[in-house]
Homo-oligomer: A and B are copies of this chain.
């Protein structure tokens, strides 16, 4: 399946979510980016539901609310659980809490974020970046999608015409934010553990090392006179591996995944090699030190081999640490639910990475079969979904007081 931001399927999912939020007794608003909010008011006082027209926007005041949610867009060829579990799971959790007679001391918001996936506009976590003030509104509106349409035009076409300046959350709007998500890895399944408690999100630093030299004929060019761009790339890739292994960090990873070598002929010395790098560690300092080591290796290889080097860092978002109180709440919730839990570092992006800039955050992971995600055969068992929702509900109850 796929659900690309502001496409017909995305707009239709928004209509479904707004209805579902309202049926769950939530007060619904959308911001100018299309982030959707369903508010459970403290004390169980709900505004009257209307059955027609869009709900009037209600600004989130600085009132220490608790929020939970995830994204509902999906990349081409994906499954049905990535993101969606955290949106529908949040709805299920508040519904369960209400059914159990719980009333929160502060508002609880269910948030459905716009475009966590970078599919259309090339930037991940568009909605949460804007909410956290991590992306300038004008820069966001100027983004151009794969179809050549700007974000400004695309969101207007989907019905979101207000200024993006209004999207950023007021200071203190949320005291805490908790996201339920599938693991997208096999650590929980391997450990036969139904609940993962995320302690940090190791945001990647990613970019490109682009080497160029003179090339030449594989027969005619003597070794001593060569400027082989692919050999410099090879040195960078091996240096990245060595630096990650030696980083001293908590599971640092470094990857050279794209190898674009030209002219790419058996009998031609590579004249150009453009390789990507992707370095992750929960500690931003460790991560950046590995990136610096990779860059130093690239510069040394270029100098030694007589190559030009174009080095560019595309993204280097700060990692996020979960809040100790939120982690404790989730672990206690899992224990109350009778579910084993284990602590994990997330090495994939999530909206929580940006929500961590404006609130105390945490994440709850549930196992997915074989660690498979971003594929049609992505699968999460009903038992694991139920467990995740129960832990989310019990955690929210702790965070939102009684």
Chain A residues within CB distance 8 Å of chain B? 184-186, 202, 204, 206, 217-223, 228, 230-231, 233-235, 237-238, 241, 244-245, 251-259, 261, 263-270, 273, 276, 278, 280, 346-348, 371, 373
Contacts and interface: CB of A to CB of B under 8 A. Distances in A.
Contacts of A202: 219
A110 to B, nearest CB: 26
Most buried by B among A233, A266, A268: A266
Most buried by B among A220, A261, A347: A220
A258 B253 contact: no
B223 A245 contact: yes
Contact of A219 (B253, B264, B268): B253
A346 B220 CA distance: 8
A375 to B, nearest CB: 11
Contacts of A257: 218, 230, 261, 263-270
Contact of A259 (B186, B244, B259): B259
Given A219-B280, A234-B234, 20 more contacts: A206-B266, A217-B347, A217-B348, A219-B278, A219-B347, A220-B347, A221-B253, A223-B253, A228-B255, A230-B257, A230-B259, A231-B237, A235-B238, A257-B265, A257-B267, A258-B261, A259-B259, A259-B261, A259-B264, A266-B276
B218 A278 contact: yes
A215 to B, nearest CB: 10
A89 to B, nearest CB: 21
Given A204-B219, A222-B253, A278-B267, A238 B245 contact: no
Nearest to A259: B261
Number of identical monomers bound together in the oligomeric complex = 2
Contacts of A234: 233-235, 237-238
A368 to B, nearest CB: 11
* Closest A-B pairs by Cβ, 8 of them: A219-B347, A234-B234, A218-B255, A185-B220, A259-B261, A266-B276, A218-B278, A219-B348
A76 to B, nearest CB: 13
A231 B259 CA distance: 11
A146 to B, nearest CB: 16
Nearest to A279: B218
A217 B269 contact: no
A297 to B, nearest CB: 12
A219 B177 CA distance: 23
Contacts of A269: 255, 257
A220 B371 contact: yes
Contact of A255 (B238, B251, B255, B267): B267
